[in-house]
């Protein structure tokens, strides 16, 4: 079965074609990726310091068809070879979701194919199955994206249990807001992580929020405020030496990254202990963070669990994860997909409510 995946939930237009044959034959799942196209709108939104929903929707409209052509050309397939269409149904920006949903539904209806709406986070949390080492069910997923921070127990395809989540800002949001405070462009996650590599550890005593709360929830807004307070204190000193300013930014970035990584690692370890799971997967945009990966690897050695990652380029939003999740869902529910004409979207959507029975 060849599944077309369409992702348009936020500021990336992603299209991909996935062939389920390797998965069914027990070969590495990444072998099923036939072709993909991705366009990031980051440059377009940068001037505004964040995503402008209306601009995002319009750009998805412009990009989606050329990206489909690109994916088909790369995979040497024709439209007639597609067996099903998967699209991100939610959560995300309503207008952006509508573009992908309308496109997918129209295509499916025109070609008389089944279509399936996918939860964006399910796409992220199954993407480590496309990596070099494959986690075994049940596993714990640490989902850290621009909009979400969650720990989930994944018992199988469509079997997800929320163990804990952020009470305020998402991890990616904390990265982006802190980056802005340090004068870095949106979205600052990758930039702040690079800057932190030049910083010295332990120069600032930033909080590690909810580290000892005893549960698996998170809170990051206080950390951002602590960074803000440090920047205010520093600007009161009226320092003009550019080297000193650069060192201050790097040291503060380092303390910020150290704090956030310590909390994410500790809570993941707790989730593993409490559920008895031996496999952890890291998913979502913040999963590209090298400090977090290194800390999780170290912790895995120490506590004897395995940690798995999606391929680096599939950490942030993409069409492959939606095609893949659509394919696995269709196999798991015997192609029980939606042939109806409506293109309902779910801008707010609880993943567990979409579990398979």
For residues 283 and 119, give the distance between their C-alpha atoms in angstroms, rounded to a whole number.
14
Q: What angle do CA 273, 277, 282 make, to 5 degrees?
A: 95
Task: Show contacts with ligand KG4 in window 187-216 (CB under 6 A).
Answer: 187-190, 193
Q: What does 318 interact with, of Zn ion, ligand KG4, none (CB < 5 to 8 A by kind)?
A: none
Cis peptide bond prior to 322, omega within 30° of 0: no
Which CB sits closer to ligand KG4, 84 or 129?
A: 129
Helices (H), the chain: 21-24, 42-46, 53-75, 94-111, 120-126, 171-181, 189-196, 221-236, 242-275, 290-303, 320-332
- Name the one residue in this structure whose structure tokens are 């720990």: 151
Closest CA to 287 of 267, 313, 305: 313
Task: Show contacts with ligand KG4 in window 8-47 (CB under 6 A).
Answer: 10
Which CB sits closer to Zn ion, 145 or 193?
A: 145
**175 forms part of the interface with ligand KG4 (CB under 6 A):** yes
**218 forms part of the interface with ligand KG4 (CB under 6 A):** no
Which CB sits closer to ligand KG4, 201 or 235?
A: 201
Which CB sits closer to ligand KG4, 5 or 187?
A: 187
Question: Measured at CB, which residue is nearest to ligand KG4?
Answer: 285
Q: What is the closest distance, in whole angstroms, from the C-beta atom of residue 347 to Zn ion in the complex?
A: 14
Binding residue for ligand KG4 (CB under 6 A) from 20, 127, 316, 354?
A: 316
- Sign of the C-alpha dihedral computed for residues 122, 128, 130 and 134 taken in this order: negative
Which CB sits closer to ligand KG4, 101 or 193?
A: 193
Q: What does 5 interact with, of ligand KG4, Zn ion, none (CB < 5 to 8 A by kind)?
A: none
Q: What does 17 interact with, of Zn ion, ligand KG4, none (CB < 5 to 8 A by kind)?
A: none
Q: What is the closest distance, in whole angstroms, from the C-beta atom of residue 269 to ligand KG4 in the complex?
A: 20
Residues that bind Zn ion (CB under 5 A): 145, 317
Q: What does 175 interact with, of ligand KG4, Zn ion, none (CB < 5 to 8 A by kind)?
A: ligand KG4
Say how many CA atoms lie within 13 Å of 294 toward its Cβ.
7
Q: What does 310 interact with, of ligand KG4, Zn ion, none (CB < 5 to 8 A by kind)?
A: none
Cβ 34 vs Cβ 171: under 8 Å: no
Binding residue for ligand KG4 (CB under 6 A) from 35, 114, 172, 319?
A: 172
Cβ 176 vs Cβ 187: under 8 Å: yes
Binding residue for ligand KG4 (CB under 6 A) from 14, 37, 284, 326?
A: 284
Torsion of CA 309, 315, 319, 324, to 10 degrees: 20
User: Which strands sit side by side in the sheet containing 306-308, from one edge to the other?
Assistant: 159-165, 149-156, 139-144, 279-283, 306-308
**286 forms part of the interface with ligand KG4 (CB under 6 A):** yes
- Sign of the C-alpha dihedral computed for residues 85, 153, 314 and 89 taken in this order: positive
Q: What does 37 interact with, of Zn ion, ligand KG4, none (CB < 5 to 8 A by kind)?
A: none
Contact segment (CB under 6 A) with ligand KG4 among 198-206, 244-252, 284-292, 345-353 equals 284-292
Task: Show contacts with ligand KG4 in window 135-154 (CB under 6 A).
Answer: 145-147
Tell me which H or E stretch contains 87. strand 84-90
Closest CA to 146 of 179, 183, 113: 179
Cβ 311 vs Cβ 130: under 8 Å: yes
Contact segment (CB under 6 A) with ligand KG4 among 63-71, 95-103, 172-180, 322-330 equals 172-180
Q: What is the closest distance, in whole angstroms, from the C-beta atom of residue 298 to ligand KG4 in the complex?
A: 17
Task: Show contacts with ligand KG4 in window 69-98 (CB under 6 A).
Answer: none
Q: Footprint of ligand KG4 on this chain (CB under 6 A)?
A: 10, 145-147, 172, 175-176, 187-190, 193, 284-286, 288-289, 316-317
């Amino acid at each position: 079965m060849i599944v077309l995946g369409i992702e348009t939930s936020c500021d990336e237009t992603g299209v991909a074609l996935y062939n389920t044959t390797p998965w069914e034959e027990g070969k590495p799942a990444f072998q099923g990726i036939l072709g993909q196209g991705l366009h990031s709108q980051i440059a377009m939104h940068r001037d505004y310091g964040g995503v402008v929903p209306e601009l995002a929707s319009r750009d998805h409209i412009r990009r989606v068809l050329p990206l489909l052509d690109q994916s088909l050309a790369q995979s040497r397939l024709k439209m007639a070879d597609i067996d099903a269409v998967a699209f991100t149904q939610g959560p995300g920006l309503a207008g952006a979701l509508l573009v992908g949903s309308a496109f997918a539904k129209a295509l499916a209806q025109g070609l008389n194919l089944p279509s399936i709406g996918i939860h964006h986070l399910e796409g992220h949390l199954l993407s480590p199955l496309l990596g070099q080492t494959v986690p075994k069910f049940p596993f714990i997923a640490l989902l850290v994206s621009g909009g979400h921070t969650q720990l989930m127990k994944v018992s199988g395809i469509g079997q997800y249990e929320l163990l804990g989540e952020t009470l305020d800002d998402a991890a990616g949001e904390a990265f982006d807001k802190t980056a802005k405070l340090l004068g870095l462009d949106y979205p600052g996650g990758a930039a702040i992580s690079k800057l932190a590599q030049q910083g010295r550890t332990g120069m600032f005593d930033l909080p590690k929020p909810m580290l000892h709360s005893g549960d698996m929830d998170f809170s990051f807004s206080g950390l951002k405020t602590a960074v803000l307070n440090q920047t205010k204190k520093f600007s009161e000193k009226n320092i003009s030496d550019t080297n000193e300013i650069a060192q201050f930014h790097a040291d503060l970035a380092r303390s910020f990254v150290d704090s956030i990584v310590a909390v994410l690692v500790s809570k993941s370890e707790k989730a593993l202990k409490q559920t008895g799971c031996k496999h952890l997967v890291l998913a979502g945009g913040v999963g590209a963070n090298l400090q977090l990966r290194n800390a999780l690897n170290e912790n895995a050695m120490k506590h004897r669990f395995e940690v798995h990652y999606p391929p680096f380029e599939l950490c942030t939003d993409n069409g492959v994860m939606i095609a893949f999740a659509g394919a696995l869902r269709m196999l798991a529910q015997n192609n029980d997909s939606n042939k109806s004409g409506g293109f309902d979207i779910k801008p707010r959507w609880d993943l567990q409510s979409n579990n398979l029975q």
